[in-house]
Structure 1
Amino acid sequence: MLWLELFGFLIVILVAAEVFVNALEHLGEKLKISEGVTGSLFAAIGTALPETMVPLLAIFAGTTDAAVNEEIGVGAILGAPLMLSTLSLSLMSFAVLKKRGVNGHYNPEHTGLTRDMNFFLIAFGLACAAMFVPHDNGTARAVFSFGMIFIYFIYVLMTIRASADLVKDGHATEAEGEMLFNKVGIPTNMPTIILQLLLGLGLLVAGAEGFIHGIQQAAPILGISALLLSLMIVPVATELPEKVNSILWIRRHKDTLAFGNITGAMVFQGTLLPAIGISLTPWTPQPAVFLGVVITLIAAAWLRLMLARGQLRVWHLWVNGALYVIYLAMVLA
């Protein structure tokens, strides 16, 4: 029964992703914004809501055991960027392997993707450094937290500022096909686009939350601790919206949207969520946690290096997937 429930919520997520992606493309086209803004900001923030809620709920309204709440909170905060930078990126490569081949190319808009990775590496590097700040040094931790928030603010400003020039260069968001609402006789305008967007987002959140609940029930059966649960299992569910959205886009050759959806979420979750963790949890370099941070930084640095070389190939993202396998092997050994 539990596995049937999990399968049902997975179907909800898949349907919701299609509804959300369809509405988001029409919103971006209507607003005449670049694919970078649509993917890195709108899609990334929207689909990041499920995994954003997990650490907040764990810290503020979790179990009666404060230590367990903090473990789940820290694990969920750091597990999301780990999953995005490794498994999520590699899944895109398998989604296009048949059509593009092992040495096939990705064609995202490079300046936006490079900006995403630069901001993420800086912010997540600071989050790593903050682990070595004593918990009783409130001033230093406050400086780190404020710095993370400020970094995301600057990132948003730069992404929006670059939009107009990208639209002129042919990187405007273009919807593929008509609105799903239109197929049932509802006209396409801004209110109906927003309505379909909210419907898709609501289904994404509900599906992900239901999936999380089911996985938490399955965890004791698998004999996994709260920390490993939040680092390894919860992100599988909470990152499903990003994975599915990006796979849909990459298969349609919308590479900028596909990558931006993931890397934009990485920036969001590598700045604002660690700011919460630094302020409200011990934020110490426990072995499983610190290893996850290091693997995440290596995966992000690898993608940034391949971008710098000018040609991003299908097989390059297999390295990211291999890093996730290495992480699992080391923490479960």
Structure 2
Amino acid sequence: MAEENNLLMMLLWLGELTLASWVLSYGAEHLSMRYGAKFVGRTLLSVATTLPEIAIVVYAAAAGSYGTAIGAGLGSNLLMMTLGLAIMLIVATTRLSKAPLKGIDVSTFKLDKIFLLITAVVSAALFLDGYDYIDGFVFAGMFAAYLVMALWEMKNEKKKAKNEVKSAGSHEVVAVETHTVSGRQMTKAALAFAAGTAGIFIGAEPFIHSLQGFSLDSGVSVIVLAVIISPIAGEMPEKISMILLARKGAAGASIAVANVLGSKILNNTLLLAVAVFGAMYHGGFFAHIDANPLLEYQMILVTVMTIGAVAMMFKKEIGLKIGIILAVLYAVSLVIQFLLPQDLTLH
């Protein structure tokens, strides 16, 4: 009976998350008309889809479960930089998309890729002796720097677009641009984005709990729950939003790529910052998050996989072939995790 109840609740909350993600993707797509696909994907959408995870990390760290807080961010990065990105590429470049692409142009995400590599390496290096309040401020500073970079690039792109319109002397283009960012449409997009964000925030936690409850009732091992089911459940809102955007063609795929890169940079900066600050709330200003063997192994694995995935993106386009390779990398990472020390009591 308990297993059936958990299954029913899991399906109900999955439906709620799917609807909320559809509304969120609609809002993101239309907000990008004014603010640009990269800015919306790397900031607004990344924060919105990661809100439930941020809340879980804050709660875990504030309760003293430091390992769980750090492990949540590591699992998310590993999953989305391999399987998540692979699914998005497969959807965007096959008949699963409404407008299949031969490849997705990632040449304009150079700064994001460099920033992701830097934050991945820095977060791993700082973890050698654990995290403390200094590291928390470093992570917060890196996140602020990323936001400043995103704002700067957005303003430059808008300025460049205006100059191109002026040089072309096309009044018709100006009229179209004004229509696409009308106040009524932007208000509708903003409300949809807010509603989708709220829906994801409300539905994520009960979905995760019901899935974990169903897994345990079904006799799934703790290892499978920790390394496969929990990360997939925690990233469900982001994956659904990403798939829905990838199905919409080039513009949606561009937002989805920005979302993947932006959310993983967010995990390496803001998510770790709130984990440290949550630990400070629990244990005082000089609280220290120690590095245990399991988390050290996970940090190395995630960093290596992130570097490998980003390295494949340093070309003009990525397509189905890269998607398949990333899916294989996820399978390899699962095998490696099963071979790691299985002390999964992350406190």
Q: Indicate if the aligned counterparts of 2:27 and 2:192 stay in contact, CA closer than 8 A.
A: yes
Match of 1:98 among 74, 94, 97: 94
2:293 maps to: 286
Tell me, yes or no, if the aligned pair for 1:124 and 1:270 is still in contact at 8 Å: yes
Within 1, Cα distance between the matches of 2:20 and 2:96?
27
- After superposition, the C-alpha distances for 1:88-131 in whole angstroms (9 at most, x for unaligned) are 101112213434999931124x23x2222221221121221222
Alignment partners' CA distance in 1, 2:96 and 2:15: 27
1:190 Cα offset (Å): 4.8
Task: Normalising by structure 2, report the TM-score.
Answer: 0.77
Residue 297 of structure 1 and its aligned partner are, at CA, apart by 2.4
Structure 1 residues 146, 93: CA separation in 2 closer, same or farther (over 3 Å shift)?
A: same
Distance apart, 1:75 and its partner CA: 1.6
The equivalent residue for 1:182 is none
8 Å contact from structure 2 (residues 115, 265) kept in 1: yes
Deviation at 1:224, TM superposition (A): 4.1
Of 254, 270, 273, the match for 2:271:
273
Counterparts of 1:62-141 in structure 2 under 5 Å? 66=64, 69-99=65-95, 104-108=102-106, 110-111=107-108, 113-133=109-129, 141=132
Q: Is the counterpart of residue 158 in structure 1 residue 149 in structure 2?
A: yes
The verdict on how the C-alpha distance between 1:285 and 1:104 changes in structure 2, with shifts beyond 3 A counting, is: farther
> 1:285 deviation in Å?
4.5
Give the counterpart letter for 2:133 in structure 1: A
**Deviation string, structure 1 residues 242-278 (Cα, Å, up to 9, x no partner):** 2122212222122220101111100111112223445
Give unpaired runs (5+ residues) of structure 1: 136-140, 179-186
CA-based RMSD of the aligned residues comes to 3.0
Measured in 1, the distance between the counterparts of 2:40 and 2:147 equals: 12
> Is the contact between residue 106 and residue 313 of structure 1 (CA under 8 Å) also seen in structure 2?
yes
Counterpart-to-counterpart distance in 2, 1:78 and 1:58 = 14
Separation of aligned partners in 2, 1:212 and 1:70: 19
Structure (1 or 2) with the larger CA radius of gyration: 2
Identity over the aligned pairs, expressed in percent?
A: 21
> Contact conserved, 1:19 with 1:197, CA < 8 A, in 2?
yes
Hey, what's the Cα distance between the residues in 1 that align with 2:316 and 2:240?
26
Go from structure 1 to structure 2 and tell me whether the alpha carbon gap of 1:323 and 1:307 turns closer, same or farther (over 3 Å shift).
Answer: closer
1:228–1:71 Cα change, 3 Å = farther
* In 2, Cα distance between equivalents of 1:9 and 1:100: 24
Q: Which residue in 2 is equivalent to 1:181?
A: none
Q: The residue matched to 1:12 in structure 2 has which SS?
A: helix
Ranges in structure 2 where 5+ consecutive residues have no aligned partner:
165-175, 280-287, 340-347
C-alpha distance in 2, partners of 1:15/1:150? 35
* Equivalent in the alignment of 2:18: 14
